[in-house]
Structure formats: C-alpha cells, structure tokens
A and B are shown apart, each in its own frame.
Chain A
Amino acid sequence: MADVTLSDIRKSYGALKTIHGVNLDIRDGEFVVLVGPSGCGKSTLLRMIAGLETITDGTLKIGDRRVNDLDPKDRDIAMVFQSYALYPHMTVATNMGFSLEHRGANKAEINERVNWAAGILGLTNLLDRYPRQLSGGQRQRVAMGRAIVRNPQVFLFDEPLSNLDAKLRVVMRGEIKALHRRLKTTTIYVTHDQVEAMTMADRIVVLNGGRVEQIGAPLDLYDRPANQFVAGFIGSPSMNFLTGTITEQGFQTSDVVLPLPASKGTVMGQAIVYGIRPEHFRLNDHPGRASVSAEIVLIEPMGSETQVTMRLGDTQVIGVFRERISGTTGDIINISLDIDAIHLFSGDGAIRLN
C-alpha cells in the first residue's frame, strides 16, 4: 500500500496535447475513481500511472519513489484490464500465479498465494479451467485474482465492468468494493459510468478534455458541483440547466421567473446558468407556496417514481416525482422548486456562484 502523487502530469503525442497538467494526491488505502466522458484522458492517465504510456512532463510518485521512468514491472502495481487480458493458453491457476512465477517465487509460495486469492474470490473450484471455459463474471474475478495475488502497492482498474451485463455489473461492483475494504490497497479505478463512480469511490476525480474539473467525495460532487460540466455529468437523469438573467423578482428565463437562493457571487442583470436536479422539483399541492406552471411533454412512469419531461418557458426540463402523475402532453402542472438545492453557475458554466 502506498500514496500515489501526480504533480503537473502532462501527455502529448507530438503536437497533440491530451493531458494538461493533472495534480492529484491519492492517500494510502484510498479508492479513487477517475470518471469522465469518452476521450477525456482518464484511461491515458491510468496507463501513465501503470507505465504503459510514457509521461511527457510532470512527476509521478508511488510511495516515496519517483516512478516516471520505471517499467510497469518495477512500479509494484497490478492492473485489471477492460477485456480482462487473461492468457488464453493458461489455466486459471497459472494465470493467477504467472507474475509470481516470473518473479522467481517458489512453487509452494505461488500455490499458497493463488489458493488464498482464489478463496477470497470464490474461484477455488475453477483453478484448473481455461479462460474460455469461464463466464464473463468468472473471468472478471480471475483478472482480479491475478491482481491481488502479488499483493501490490496499487491496484489499477481500467473500466473493468464495461463488458458485463447490467445485473452482473451491480454484483461485481459490490465485490470490488468488498475486496477493497478487505485488502485496503490503494485503488485507482477508471470508468465512464458515473453510477459506478458514485457508488464505489472514496473520492471521484472528474476529468474533461485532459483536465481535472473537480475532485471530491461523491456526495460533495453531487451536492456542490464546481461547474456546469460536473453538475451535468454527475447524476442521472442529469441536472437541468436554464439560461437567463438575474432580476429584482428572481431568475428570469424567457417569460418565467424562478426563485433565487441567497448568493454573494451574483449581481443584478448578470447572465447566469440556473441548475436544478430532477428530484428537486415538487408537485405544488400546497396552495400558499410560490409555484410555476410547466407544460407536460412526456410522462414516463417508472413504478417507484415518475419521470416527467416538461417545458418551462423555452426550456425542456426533466422532473422526477415520487407521486404518480396523471395527465397528457400539453397539460399544465404547477410545480415548485427546492430553493436550497438550486445551483447557480456563471454564464459560461465555468464557475459556481452560490
């Protein structure tokens, strides 16, 4: 186990710059998830930590060692790949013990470690099988077994669940988390799935275009996103954004006025982006409460909740309600907004204002 420190890490392919100075301190034993849309540089960053990509500039430390120029094998890391990358011509046991064997461990030691890892991951009965004889979930577990058997300082996971079906993904998510709780090894996990990031991470690093947008605990990112990108990326369905200006009455967007939370960062007449999450709309059944009218575009009953697409002024927004809503396209409903849960961003979306 070790800290991982990235100081001003950069990556260029010729003139093309893909990572623009990433700074990140990952504490010993922490589970950090790198998340972002396709092409944001999250996998490149992970591969740079693994030593599979060179680092153009900056310093990467694992523990106290600067590892920029070390081979992957000398960094004391283990990696789980998206395709699992199990060696097809080796049995599960050989796959898991391969790195130990190569590092000159004796047979008894290899057996002991492989059996230990197999025991943790429920693979004991599968040790003699070949990867082609395993299901997707089992292959995933073997890939994890191969990583833990060596007891490395850092685990790296590169979208390990994206080849599994939705149900199995939920199960494996839990297993990876349980494994981390048990081993307490520093883990860096890459995913494009914000649900995975929210449920697994101690801290999330949101990347966009090779830059860090925000680093924080999952609920901090959810409750106080630093900018419009993070606000839109974290949460599903994603946050609704309305553009407009600040007036005496509140936030004006087309012909609709919405209530404004107290904010020191705004001035009268300023153009801003107004963000509200779908679950922070309320059906206004209290006659005394200030409300706005919205036109229903689409109602999608999910059972436990109802997702309603509505038109608020010129903007289409999504609301999620606990209540069951009857109505059809074109009907008007009265809704109110949870004023404490409103997010204000600068007109270009780059800065949070409240």
Chain B
Amino acid sequence: MKAELSPRTRTALYGLMCVLLIPFVFPTWWMVTSSIKPISDIFAFPPQLIPQSYDWTTYSKVFELQPFVRQYWNSAYIAALVTVGTMVVSSMAGYAFARIRFPYANTIFMIVLLGLLIPSEVTIVPLFQMFLKAGMVNTHWPLILVPIFGAPSVFATFVMRQFFVTLPAELEEAARVDGLGRFKIFAKIALPLAKPALASVAIFTFLHSWNLFLEPIVFLSSAEMFTLPQALTQYTDAYGGPMWNIQLAAATLTALPVLIVFVIAQKQFVEGLAHTGLKG
C-alpha cells in the first residue's frame, strides 16, 4: 500500500534525494564538461561547472593518438562474447543446480560460490603462467575465457539458479507429459521464462567485461590489442603526465554505450536482481 506523503515531507524527501544524487552525477558531469574544456580551464579556480570556452579537437585527438576505433572494437566484441558465453554457461549451470537432483548438488554449489570470495588479484599470476604456456598472452583469449568460466560467471550462475528455483515444478511436469526431455524443457520452457534474470546477467556481465582493467594490463602488451579502460591510460604527454581533456574525452566515449544500455534496460536489471532475493 502506498502511503500518501504530505507536501512538506515530499519536498524534504526530494531535497534529500537531490543532495544524495550529487556524488553520483557530479563525476559524470565533470568528465563530460572537462572533455571539451582547454586543459587550463580544468584546473581553474574557482572550478568552472559550466565550460567558458570549448575545445572540440579533444575528440579528434582521441582517435589520432591511439588506435581508438580498434580498441573500441576490441572492448565491444570481447564484452559481447563474454556476455553471450556467460549467459549460456550460467543459465545451464543455474538450471542444473536448481532443478537436477544429483549427489552433493548443494555442496558443490557452495564450493562454486566460494569462488566468489577469491579476489582476482590472487589468481592472476597462476592464470598468467597458464595462458603463457598456452601461447595466449597478448591475445584476447584470457579476457574472454576467464570471465566466462571464472568468478563473474559464478555470480551469474547464482542469479540464474535463484530464478529457476522459483519456477513451479508443475510446469516442467506438464512439459514432461507433453513429451519434452530435460534439455528441451530447459530450452523451451525454463529459459524463455528466465528473460528478466537473463537480462540482468547480460547487463552486469557486459559492464564487468567492459570495465575490466587488471586482466588487460596483465595479459595485453600492444596498443592494437588494448581494450578501452587500458587505452585510457595511454593518453599521456612526452613526460608521462596525463593529457586530461583528451583522456576525459576518451572516457566519455567509453562510458556512453554503457549509459545507453543501462537507461534502456534498467527495468529488466532491477527485476532480474529482485528475482535473486538480493537487495542492492
């Protein structure tokens, strides 16, 4: 039941929300406006919240100084593959943990979940040695395989399992009577109903892969292979100092697709998380 708020409470509430919004909105605003400021204006005091003069050449320099289109493509296709791969792995694993009775299912699931507790920094060195032996260093394979079969996928599996657990058993029994085997029940009944959970898995997997930083700097060494977060660190002058406005222009371009995806899909994202029983 929705309680009616008095106008005074409502005003106070909106006021509070505006204040709380500042730490979230200000960095984005600063990034976007600073990307078109001359570098001297970025450090001007008092700070210029609204740019006084505009320098649009920063955006063309982003593409001149680095193979930015190539790096954009790298990030995009890696994120797409990781997203699709994680959706496949986590939906199947989540379904199995939720629906198939096999010995020690819960124990195995707990062990899998424990993987979430291991920081990626701990495993990065052995992973590097493994991929080095396999001749995959300075390729995109580690950035694709590690998230699909590593910790991000574990979280996705957890989300999918929580969804499949709530699916009524009678639906599957009806499908069995209708003549479907286990895999077809999964593909034709369970998976289409899991769209909200899949959507949230897709969004956070995409975000995770898009923002991945440690793994690229460990595994990749040539500019042509870089992904965006790594590329952002390359906009430096001859002395190694950052070219702030160009770097922020590149950061703006990097954040753009993520913002667009989130704005479009935020409803599914929230619904999907609601299904897991998690509150964020």
Residues of B within 8 A of A71 (CB): 176
Whole-angstrom distance from the CB of B163 to the nearest CB of chain A?
Answer: 14
Asked if A73 and B176 make an inter-chain contact with CB atoms under 8 angstroms apart, the answer reads yes
Asked if B178 and A98 make an inter-chain contact with CB atoms under 8 angstroms apart, the answer reads yes
Whole-angstrom distance from the CB of A14 to the nearest CB of chain B?
Answer: 14
Whole-angstrom distance from the CB of B103 to the nearest CB of chain A?
Answer: 15
Asked if B170 and A81 make an inter-chain contact with CB atoms under 8 angstroms apart, the answer reads yes
Report how far A73 CA is from B173 CA in the complex, Å: 11
Asked if B174 and A85 make an inter-chain contact with CB atoms under 8 angstroms apart, the answer reads yes
Please tell me if B189 contacts chain A, counting CB pairs below 8 Å. yes
Please tell me if A4 contacts chain B, counting CB pairs below 8 Å. no
Please tell me if B192 contacts chain A, counting CB pairs below 8 Å. yes
The number of chain A residues touching the other chain, given as a range, is: 20 to 34
Report how far A146 CA is from B177 CA in the complex, Å: 11
Residues of A within 8 A of B170 (CB): 81-83, 85
The one of A79, A86, A88, A89 that contacts B177, using a Cβ cutoff of 8 Å = A79
Report how far A88 CA is from B167 CA in the complex, Å: 11
Whole-angstrom distance from the CB of B122 to the nearest CB of chain A?
Answer: 42
Residues of A within 8 A of B192 (CB): 89
Asked if A52 and B178 make an inter-chain contact with CB atoms under 8 angstroms apart, the answer reads no
Q: Which residue of A lies closest to B180 (CB)?
A: A102
Contact code string B177-193 (vs A, CB < 8 Å = 1, else 0): 11110001000010011
Can you list 28 A-B pairs with a CB-CB distance of less than 8 A? A51-B177, A52-B177, A72-B173, A72-B176, A72-B177, A73-B177, A73-B180, A79-B173, A79-B174, A79-B177, A81-B170, A81-B174, A82-B170, A83-B168, A83-B170, A85-B168, A85-B170, A85-B171, A85-B174, A87-B171, A87-B174, A87-B175, A89-B192, A98-B178, A99-B178, A102-B180, A146-B174, A146-B178
Whole-angstrom distance from the CB of B271 to the nearest CB of chain A?
Answer: 15
The one of A78, A79, A87, A146 that contacts B189, using a Cβ cutoff of 8 Å = A87
Residues of A within 8 A of B168 (CB): 83, 85
Asked if B171 and A73 make an inter-chain contact with CB atoms under 8 angstroms apart, the answer reads no
Asked if B189 and A77 make an inter-chain contact with CB atoms under 8 angstroms apart, the answer reads no
The one of A52, A77, A146 that contacts B173, using a Cβ cutoff of 8 Å = A52
Number of A-B contacts (CB under 8 A): 52
The one of A88, A89, A102 that contacts B178, using a Cβ cutoff of 8 Å = A102
Report how far A307 CA is from B178 CA in the complex, Å: 48
Report how far A133 CA is from B190 CA in the complex, Å: 20
Q: Which residue of A lies closest to B178 (CB)?
A: A99
Q: Which residue of A lies closest to B189 (CB)?
A: A87
Contact code string A100-144 (vs B, CB < 8 Å = 1, else 0): 001100000000000000000000000000000000000000000
Contact code string A41-67 (vs B, CB < 8 Å = 1, else 0): 000000000111000000000000000
Asked if B174 and A88 make an inter-chain contact with CB atoms under 8 angstroms apart, the answer reads no
Report how far A103 CA is from B177 CA in the complex, Å: 12
Whole-angstrom distance from the CB of B107 to the nearest CB of chain A?
Answer: 20
Whole-angstrom distance from the CB of B195 to the nearest CB of chain A?
Answer: 8
Asked if A52 and B176 make an inter-chain contact with CB atoms under 8 angstroms apart, the answer reads yes
Most buried by A among B170, B174, B180: B174
Report how far A86 CA is from B173 CA in the complex, Å: 11
Q: Which residue of B lies closest to A158 (CB)?
A: B170
Residues of A within 8 A of B184 (CB): 102
Residues of B within 8 A of A99 (CB): 177-179
Residues of A within 8 A of B175 (CB): 87
Residues of B within 8 A of A83 (CB): 168, 170
Residues of B within 8 A of A103 (CB): 179
Q: Which residue of A lies closest to B172 (CB)?
A: A85
Report how far A73 CA is from B179 CA in the complex, Å: 4
Report how far A52 CA is from B178 CA in the complex, Å: 12
Asked if A78 and B177 make an inter-chain contact with CB atoms under 8 angstroms apart, the answer reads yes
